[in-house]
Chains A and B, each alone.
Chain A
Amino acid sequence: AQSVAQPEDQVNVAEGNPLTVKCTYSVSGNPYLFWYVQYPNRGLQFLLKYITGDNLVKGSYGFEAEFNKSQTSFHLKKPSALVSDSALYFCAVRDGSTDSWGKLQFGAGTQVVVTP
C-alpha cells in the first residue's frame, strides 16, 4: 500500500523568504514522487518528480525538492518565495506494484500563503 502525508495544512511565508512544503511517504519498494500545484478553480500543474538518481530534483518556476530515503521524505523548496506562489500544493506518490499501477496517491495538500 502507498500513502503520503503533508503535515502542514498551511504555510505562511513573507515574499523573498525561503519556502518549504513538507511531504513524507510510505510505499513498498521504490517510490515515484511528484509535486503538483493547484491555483483556485484550476486543475493541477506538474512541478517536478523524483524517479531515481540525484536526490535533489529541480523543477518548474524555481522549485526544487530533496528526496531523503532514510527519512522517507520529499520536501518541496524554493529559495525566494513570490506572492504569485500562493496556491495549494500537493505531494503524490506511486510505487511499482500492480495495485498502484497508474494510480497517484495524493496528500491532503498544503495551502501556501506568501505575503508581500
Chain B
Amino acid sequence: EAGVTQSPTHLIKTRGQQATLRCSPISGHTSVYWYQQALGLGLQFLLWYDEGEERNRGNFPPRFSGRQFPNYSSELNVNALELEDSALYLCASSLAGTRTTNSYEQYFGPGTRLTVT
C-alpha cells in the first residue's frame, strides 16, 4: 500500500513569492492535514481538510491557505513568503474524522523542505 506522498521534496523561494506544496493521501483516506515543523518551534498544526472542506485551522495567518480536490489530494499555498516560513511542511492523512469519531491516527508523508531566501 502506497503511503502519503508529497511534492516537491525541496522548494527554494525568494521572500515575497508564493509557494505551492502538494500532497496525495493514502488510498481510502479522505482527511488531509498539514503541519509545519520549523526549527525551534516544533510541529504545529496548520490545516485540516475533509471531503473538500476546510474543517479546522491552526494559528497561522491567512496567507497560508489550501484546498482539497475531489480525489482527496491537497495543495498548501503560502503567499507573500517570509524568511520565517522556512520549514519542513508535513502532510498527513487519515480515515474520515467526525465529531464523534476523532480517534483515527494520522499517517505522515516525508515532507517538503521549503527554504525562503
Segment 1-54 of B: residues with Cβ below 8 Å from A: 4, 31, 33, 35, 42-45, 48, 50
**Residue A69 at the B interface, CB < 8 A?**
no
Count chain A residues whose beta carbon lies closer than 8 angstroms to a beta carbon of B. Answer: 26
Q: Chain B contacts of A24 at CB under 8 A?
A: none
Contact B108 A44 (CB under 8 A): yes
When A44-B90, A90-B43, A109-B42 are in contact, do A104 and B106 touch as well, CB less than 8 Å?
yes
Q: Chain B contacts of A99 at CB under 8 A?
A: 56
Provide the bound-state CA to CA distance between A106 and B107, in Å: 14
When A98-B99, A101-B99 are in contact, do A106 and B106 touch as well, CB less than 8 Å?
no
Provide the bound-state CA to CA distance between A45 and B103, in Å: 17
**Residue B66 at the A interface, CB < 8 A?**
no
**Residue B55 at the A interface, CB < 8 A?**
yes
Q: Chain B contacts of A107 at CB under 8 A?
A: 42
Contact A34 B42 (CB under 8 A): no
Contact A43 B43 (CB under 8 A): no
Partner of A43, one of B4, B31, B97: B4
Footprint of A on B, CB under 8 Å? 4, 31, 33, 35, 42-45, 48, 50, 55-56, 58, 90, 92, 97, 99, 102-103, 105-111
Footprint of B on A, CB under 8 Å? 32, 34, 36, 41-46, 49, 51, 90, 94, 96, 98-109
